């Protein structure tokens, strides 16, 4: 089973995990961390500790709220030193729900599934004036 760390600015990660649990049931092996009140050094420590807590899993996906944000940049450095670690940026609730459905698959299968679901997950509806 694949573990996950949800990271964000403010309370978004914790709120996303709470809502995810309401929809998909309580999820073991998913951790949420925030940058609130943390400097870059502390954020890196928090992320390393969260990933370490998931060592028994068959890989870890870090879901970051913002590409180019502090946690994304920190995670990109960690990718060089940790095997079985994947970073996905710009998460939303549908993507996290899909993760819970497919997290029993091998990491190499799971990532392309989630990437495709994420690309198709945003829908735009509008009235077109002729």
CATH number at residue 74: 3.40.50.510
Q: What is the pLDDT of residues 7-55, one digit of tens each?
A: 999 999 999 999 999 999 998 999 999 999 999 999 999 999 999 999 9
Percent of the chain whose pLDDT exceeds 70: 100
Whether residue 128 is contained in a domain is answered as no
Mean pLDDT computed over 75-87: 95
Residue 130: pLDDT over 80: no
Whether residue 126 is contained in a domain is answered as no
Whether residue 113 is contained in a domain is answered as yes
Whether residue 71 is contained in a domain is answered as yes
Ramachandran angles phi, psi of 25, nearest 5°? 90, 165
Question: For the chain, what is the domain count?
Answer: 1
Whether residue 14 is contained in a domain is answered as yes
Give the per-residue pLDDT at 119: 87
Which residue range is the domain that position 30 belongs to?
3-121
Whether residue 130 is contained in a domain is answered as no
Whether residue 75 is contained in a domain is answered as yes
Compute CA 121 distance to the chain's CA centroid, rounded to the nearest angstrom: 15
Beta bridge partners of 89: 64
Residue 128 DSSP code: P
For residue 103, which of 34, 52, 30, 19 has the smallest C-alpha distance?
30
Residue 127: pLDDT over 90: no
Whether this model's pTM surpasses 0.85:
yes
């Amino acid at each position: 089973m694949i573990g996950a760390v949800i990271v964000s600015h403010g309370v978004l990660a914790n709120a996303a995990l709470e809502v995810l649990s309401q929809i998909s049931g309580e999820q073991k092996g998913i951790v949420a961390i925030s940058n609130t009140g943390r400097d870059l050094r502390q954020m890196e420590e928090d992320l390393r500790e969260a990933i370490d807590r998931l060592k028994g899993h068959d890989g870890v996906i870090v879901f970051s709220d913002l590409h180019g944000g502090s946690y994304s940049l920190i995670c990109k450095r960690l990718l060089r030193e940790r095997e079985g670690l994947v970073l996905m940026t710009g998460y939303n609730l549908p993507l996290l729900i899909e993760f819970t459905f497919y997290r029993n698959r091998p990491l190499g299968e799971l990532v392309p599934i989630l990437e495709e679901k994420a690309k198709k997950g945003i829908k735009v509806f509008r009235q077109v004036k002729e």
